[in-house]
């Protein structure tokens, strides 16, 4: 990550993906009629850049798939991103003994306890009737790897940044007094054929007080 637009012109594939954070604008209002302190509104641009035709393996660890429910169909749970490979699938933190890849949901079989199937074309999961009953109300999680590149990679990383800001701005002390983030936009930029890069731009507005004066 870089505190400005990321350098892209003279770099090889191994230097991507890259993320840059740039301040676009600052605006402020006084806190009161006779108050010199200012409430600030600062707009940031976050650039995510990926190299064309470069594929990366994205590992997602202990992704929350859903909660087992004995009243639901066995293949109701689905990965957010369809993985390339699945490392494990867990119920309540305990891994299933056997994880089997199927090409489609129609290829699912009737399973015995301890085995779970996943469809590589849709990301759907299939559990045995015995496991659905015994693991009722338990959290289903998984660690998996997804091959990703180009525009999809930029969109994925941008979404991860948005999630990180949403979930951590109250507790992350490294953002130095910025608070109450508002997402302004999350937009793709057409591919730059000359540079061979894809770009996704995320804009956020944060509130602050007396920006740049060392007062958080």
**pLDDT tens readout for residues 159-201:** 999 999 999 999 987 877 889 999 999 999 999 888 889 999 9
Domain coordinates in residue numbering, the chain = 13-53+149-209, 56-147
Architecture of domain 13-53+149-209: 2-Layer Sandwich (3.30)
2, 19 Cβ separation under 8 angstroms:
yes
Whether 215 shows a pLDDT value over 70: the answer reads: no
Task: Write down the pLDDT at residue 71.
Answer: 66
Q: What is the pLDDT of residue 216?
A: 46
Q: Is the pTM of this model over 0.95?
A: no
Q: Give the closest residue to 77 by CA, choosing from 114, 119, 115.
A: 119
Looking at per-residue pLDDT, the higher value among 125 and 72 belongs to: 125
Write down the pLDDT at residue 4: 62
Q: What mean pLDDT is reported for the chain? A: 89
């Amino acid at each position: 990550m870089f505190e400005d637009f990321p350098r892209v012109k003279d770099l090889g594939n191994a230097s991507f993906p890259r993320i840059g954070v740039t301040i676009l604008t600052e605006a402020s209002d006084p806190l009161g009629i006779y108050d010199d302190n200012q409430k600030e509104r600062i707009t940031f641009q976050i650039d995510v850049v990926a190299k064309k035709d470069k594929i990366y393996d994205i590992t997602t660890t202990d992704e929350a798939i859903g909660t087992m429910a004995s009243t639901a169909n066995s293949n109701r749970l689905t990965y957010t991103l369809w993985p390339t490979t699945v490392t494990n699938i867990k119920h309540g933190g305990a891994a299933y003994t056997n994880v089997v890849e199927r090409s489609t949901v129609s290829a699912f079989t009737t399973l015995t306890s301890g085995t779970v199937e996943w469809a590589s074309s849709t990301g759907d999961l299939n559990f045995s009737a015995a496991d659905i009953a015994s693991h009722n109300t338990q959290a289903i999680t998984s660690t998996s790897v997804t091959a990703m590149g180009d525009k999809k990679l930029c969109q994925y990383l941008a979404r991860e940044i948005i999630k990180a800001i949403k979930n951590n701005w109250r507790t992350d002390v490294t953002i130095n007094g910025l608070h109450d983030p508002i997402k302004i936009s999350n937009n793709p930029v057409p591919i730059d054929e000359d540079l061979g890069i894809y770009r996704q731009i995320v804009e956020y507005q944060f509130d602050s007080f007396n920006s740049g004066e060392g007062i958080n």
